[in-house]
Amino acid sequence: MAEPVKKTLTSAQTGLLSVGTAAHTNVKPAVSTIADAVGSTSSQPLSTSPHLRANRPDIDADVIVIGAGISGLAAAKELVQKGNKVIVLEARDRIGGRIDSRAISPQHGHEESGVRIDMGASFIHGKYDNPIYDLAQDLGISVHYSSPEGEIRILDADGQIEKDIANRLGFNVSHTFFDASRSYAQNNDPSPSDSLASYVFADDSPLFDGLDQHEPADATTREQESANMRWKAKTLGRSFSGWTGADLEDVALKWWGFERDTMGPDGMVTGGSYYKVVDHLAKLVTGPATPKGEIRLGEKVDKIRWDSDRGVLQRRPPAFEPALPPRKQRAIRALGYGLLSKIALRYDKAWWKDSDKATRQLVMFLGADYGQAMEQADHDECVQWAHTLFKRYLSPDPSSTDIPTPIGAIASSWSTDPYSFNSYTYIPSKADNSDGLPVTPLDIAEFAVPVWDGALGFAGEHTHSDRYASVHGAYESGIREGKRVAIALDMKKRGEE
C-alpha cells in the first residue's frame, strides 16, 4: 500500500474569494493577467463607476467570486439576490467542485449508459438544521435512509459475519466514533498530539465491548476467538479513515466532536443527483430574476492582487499580493486535508446477494492511503481489482462462472485533481511544522476571517469550524460571506464605511 500523502490546503482550494468592499480612493486599477483582475477600487461612487475592475474589460462587477463550488454559488446567489453585479470565475469546465455527479464511462466495447454516480459528496449529513436537506426536499431529490437493521452487512474473508456478531461490531464502531470518543475528548481534555486512534484502538476501548459472546470450551480457543474478534473490530474501525479522509493516527482526539453540527440521521442522495442542488443555485445566480449574475467556466485565477493606498506594496511570488497575513498562512499550511476516493462499477444485471435488482452499479469508498493507492493505480487494473473484490465478497456463489464483467466504470482522482487536491478538512494531531504549535479549530475560524480591509473574503468547507468537511458547511459559509460582502457594499453606497 502506498504511503499516505498529506496535503495541506493551498489557495487553490479556497472555495470563494470575494472582492468588493475595499474603500480606498486614488487607487489605480490592477492591470496585467486575469489573475490580477480582482481588488481594485475606483475613486468614483459605485453608481457611476465600476467598483471593481480587471485587466480585461469583460470582467466588470461589484463582486468577483472565485470558484463555482457550492460555497461560491451560495455566496453569489446571496449577492445577486441583493442586487449586486457578480461574476463567478470557475477554473473547471463544470460547476459543483467537490459535488460531481458524473456519468459512468463505458468499459471496452460497451455502450454509454448515461447513469450518473456522485463521485464527490453523496450524503446529506443530518436531516435537521441542514439547509441542504431542505433544498433537497424542495427540489424533490430522493434521499435514502438505511434502517439500522437489515441493510448493513459486514463481511470478512470467509464471507458474511453472523448477524448477531455483525450487529455488535456495527454498533461498537458507530458508538465508539460518534459517541464514546467525543465524550471522552470532552471529559478528559486529551493532549493535542493524542490521536483519535489512541482512544479508538486502546485495549479498553468500547470498540471491543461485548465481543466474547460465545463461551468456548478451552482457554486457548477462547483466546484465539477473542483475538480474532478484536481484529475484526479494529479492521472495521479502520474503515473510518474514509470518514475523516485521514488515518486515525493523524486525526486529533482533542477536537473530535468539538463542532456543533446538524442533527438527525444521514441520508444518501440516490441516482447520482447531487448535481441538482448546484444546478439549482446556479440558476438562482444567472436566472432571469437575477440578470446581474454570471458564471464563467474555464477561468482559472492564478493571482489575486490588491492595491491599497498604503504605499508601495511588496510583491511576492505567491498567489496573493500582498502575501496573506501569517495567521492565515498558518491555517492554510497546518490544517489537514484528507482523501476519500470512490470507484464505481456498472453491470448489465444485478448479480450480487440480496440485490434490489433495480440498481446495477456498485460503489466502493476508500479512505486515506487506500484511496491514494487506488487513485495512483492504472484504471483498468483498479476496475479488475474492484470487480474481483465484489465477486469475492458479494457473490451468492464466489465459484460461479456466471458473474458478468463490468460494462461501465468510473474512479475518482481527487488526490491529483489540481482544483481540489484531496477531499476535505480535518484537524491533525500533528503540530504545525513551522511553529511547532498544535492545530485547533481556531485555525478553521481564522480561515473565515476576511483580509485586505474586508476586500477579500473566504468561504468553503474549510472555513466553517462547526461544519467543516461537508456540503452544508460549505453552503453556509457561502451564505455567510455573501451576506458580509452585501452589507459592506451597502454601507459603502450609503457612505457609512
Ligand X SMILES: Cc1cc2nc3c(=O)[nH]c(=O)nc-3n(C[C@H](O)[C@H](O)[C@H](O)COP(=O)(O)OP(=O)(O)OC[C@H]3O[C@@H](n4cnc5c(N)ncnc54)[C@H](O)[C@@H]3O)c2cc1C
Catalog residues that contact ligand X under the rule CB under 6 A.
12, 15, 66-72, 89-92, 97-99, 120-123, 125, 300-301, 340, 342, 412, 414, 419-420, 423-424, 460-461, 469-472, 474
Composition of the chain by helix, strand, coil, percent to 5: 35, 15, 50
**Minimum distance between the CB of residue 468 and ligand X, rounded to whole angstroms?**
8
Distance CA 15, CA 10 (A): 11
Distance CA 486, CA 82 (A): 7
**Minimum distance between the CB of residue 177 and ligand X, rounded to whole angstroms?**
16
Reading the block at residue 114, the C-alpha cell is 448515461
DSSP H helices, 239-323, are 241-244, 275-286
Distance CA 392, CA 386 (A): 10
Distance CA 467, CA 425 (A): 10
**Minimum distance between the CB of residue 55 and ligand X, rounded to whole angstroms?**
15
Reading the block at residue 462, the C-alpha cell is 474549510
Distance CA 43, CA 24 (A): 7
Q: Please measure the distance between the N-terminal and C-terminal CA atoms of the chain and give it in whole angstroms.
A: 56
**Minimum distance between the CB of residue 372 and ligand X, rounded to whole angstroms?**
13
Do the beta carbons of residue 464 and residue 57 sit within 8 Å?
Answer: no
Whichever of 429 and 477 has its CB closer to ligand X, that residue is: 477
**Minimum distance between the CB of residue 268 and ligand X, rounded to whole angstroms?**
8
**Minimum distance between the CB of residue 475 and ligand X, rounded to whole angstroms?**
8
Whichever of 286 and 423 has its CB closer to ligand X, that residue is: 423
**Minimum distance between the CB of residue 143 and ligand X, rounded to whole angstroms?**
11
Whichever of 385 and 419 has its CB closer to ligand X, that residue is: 419
Residues with Cβ within 8 Å of residue 183, at least 6 apart in sequence: 257
Whichever of 241 and 470 has its CB closer to ligand X, that residue is: 470
Of 65, 17, 15, 70, the residue nearest 475 (C-alpha): 70
Whichever of 99 and 403 has its CB closer to ligand X, that residue is: 99
**Minimum distance between the CB of residue 173 and ligand X, rounded to whole angstroms?**
18
The secondary structure of residue 416, as a DSSP letter, is T
**Minimum distance between the CB of residue 12 and ligand X, rounded to whole angstroms?**
4
Three-state secondary structure call for residue 64: strand
Q: Specify burial of residue 81 (Cβ count, 10 A radius: 0-12, 13-18, 19+).
A: middle
Whichever of 250 and 375 has its CB closer to ligand X, that residue is: 375
Distance CA 119, CA 420 (A): 13
**Minimum distance between the CB of residue 269 and ligand X, rounded to whole angstroms?**
8
Whichever of 66 and 489 has its CB closer to ligand X, that residue is: 66
Whichever of 222 and 300 has its CB closer to ligand X, that residue is: 300
* CA count, 13 A, side-chain hemisphere, 443: 24
Reading the block at residue 285, the C-alpha cell is 445566480
Q: How many residues are recorded in the chain?
A: 497
**Minimum distance between the CB of residue 165 and ligand X, rounded to whole angstroms?**
28
Whichever of 2 and 297 has its CB closer to ligand X, that residue is: 297
For 176, phi then psi, to 5°, come to -65, -45
CA 290 vs. chain centroid, Å, equals 28
Do the beta carbons of residue 74 and residue 479 sit within 8 Å?
Answer: yes
Whichever of 73 and 403 has its CB closer to ligand X, that residue is: 73
Distance CA 373, CA 382 (A): 10
Whichever of 120 and 237 has its CB closer to ligand X, that residue is: 120
Reading the block at residue 31, the C-alpha cell is 492591470
